Amino acid sequence: MSIDSKLLEIIVCPQCRGKLNLEPESLFCSPCALEFPIRNGIPVLLIDSAKKRG
């Protein structure tokens, strides 16, 4: 699953506005430790859909 690199440059964490790290099936915000799912190639940047890691 890949996401357009230009899209990745403009999307940020909805909670802290930080940069998101692309992982195979999710986008991960390290400051928040929140993992946002990618569904059908579309990142779901909703805090309600995010999973807290750790």
Choose one: 2-10, 18-26, 38-46; the region binding Zn ion (CB under 5 A).
18-26
Nearer to Zn ion, 29 or 45 (CB): 29
- 15: exposed, middle or buried (C-beta count within 10 Å: 0-12, 13-18, 19+)? middle
Contact criterion met (CB below 8 Å) for 26 and 34: no
Q: Does 16 bind Zn ion (CB under 5 A)?
A: yes
At residue 15, φ and ψ (nearest 5 deg) are -90, -50
- What's the min distance (Å) between Cβ of 15 and Zn ion? 5
Q: Does 15 bind Zn ion (CB under 5 A)?
A: yes
Q: Does 18 bind Zn ion (CB under 5 A)?
A: yes
